[in-house]
Chain A
């Protein structure tokens, strides 16, 4: 089995003419989780996109050992399709069916995605993330719109993911219980 890790060296992020943060280094190995805290506008989402490889860093480098799973505010589900079919598309791509009962959305499979609430969409996005079976989870505001049950559920999923040798990096405004309780305050690196 290959070594799962996520390494960032001296990372800087620019948006427009503004450098949001610089000098960020982090190193996560198998089973580790990290919570990124920062006020609005410091670049949490940008950091996640840098780490995912979806944007190029202004300076520094990112090294990814393992596949990346991304959860952000966009669930990437077809609005007009029934939830079951929308998830089936990802299940076919990922070749894996997610455990829908565990997420409490197994009763919603025939409801079109556009009728789902924010929290239900988030649960569906979590189902997509689980099905992807990625090594490194990058979660951008995973608790937005979730009720207390779902928050506990998400925390449980992250703990389980880390326990089975995965990495989780979570950017959240809401306090979240993560294994290891490691924390990074992005505001200290802000320009």
Chain B
């Protein structure tokens, strides 16, 4: 138990904004930049912006969540941390689960905050904003799980890891985006519930998929 707290403290110190290995505020700024630039790209058509804005927020959230992927696990494997943990009987699954929590904490809550100014920029009204926020709350843990799965699968790939990560995101993220962004047009709760269900599934799978991937990369 104390090992778990020690590991989580290190993960948070590494990943939270302002920490050494995090790209700190980059994902959030990236998210806001998309929201800011989108109206310039499509033109100042308020109804169109309001109609498509929620979807834009979701795509921006997805991209912001996968920005720090290459730093999520790879440095710890290269520096031998995972080997040392394995020798101490701390399984890869535990490490990956804790890293997923830290990864979510490093962007999830901040993304939900950043969605407030973003929705103002996109002309989204209060009720839709509420749906967006609930959707993000339900969906961002799933995004964090996707991120950690991809980070662990691409960890053994010497070159081209980034390209592979980009390809892997697409099929994994499709269900979340369909229901998350879909909850905006179809009116709320069903979509959010389905987003939450997919999120839970991804969160439940991620530690085992990630742990297996890291052990497989060790054999290489």
Contact = CB atoms under 8 A, between A and B. Distances in A.
B87 A68 contact: yes
Interface in B79-126: 79-81, 83-84, 86-88, 90
A76 B10 CA distance: 13
A90 B81 CA distance: 10
B218 A89 contact: no
B159 interface: no
A2 interface: no
A70 B83 contact: yes
Given A80-B20, A94-B88, A132-B88, A54 B6 contact: no
A188 interface: no
Interface in B173-188: none
A52 B87 contact: yes
A76 B84 contact: yes
Nearest to B89: A67
Interface residues of A, number: 27
Contact of B83 (A76, A79, A90, A95): A76
A167 B35 CA distance: 61
Nearest to B88: A93
Contacts of B88: 67, 93-94, 132
Interface in B37-84: 78-81, 83-84
Interface string A62-101: 0000011110101111111100000001101111000000
B87 A92 contact: no
A74 B78 contact: yes
B106 to A, nearest CB: 16
Contact of B6 (A53, A74, A75, A93): A93
Classify chain B: how many residues form its interface, as a range: 20 to 34
A93 B3 contact: yes
A163 interface: no
Which of B3, B6, B20 has the most chain A CB atoms inside 10 A of its CB?
Answer: B6
B219 interface: yes
Nearest to B14: A78
A173 interface: no
Nearest to B5: A92
A26 interface: no
A95 B6 CA distance: 11
A189 interface: no
25 contacts: A52-B83, A54-B86, A54-B87, A54-B218, A56-B219, A67-B87, A68-B87, A70-B83, A74-B83, A75-B79, A76-B84, A78-B10, A78-B14, A78-B20, A80-B20, A80-B21, A89-B6, A89-B10, A90-B84, A92-B2, A93-B88, A93-B90, A94-B88, A95-B2, A134-B87
Given A52-B87, A74-B79, 5 more contacts: A72-B83, A76-B80, A80-B21, A81-B20, A93-B3
Going nearest first, the 6 A-B pairs with the smallest beta carbon separation are A74-B80, A80-B20, A76-B80, A92-B6, A76-B84, A68-B87
Interface of A: 52-56, 67-70, 72, 74-81, 89-90, 92-95, 128, 132, 134
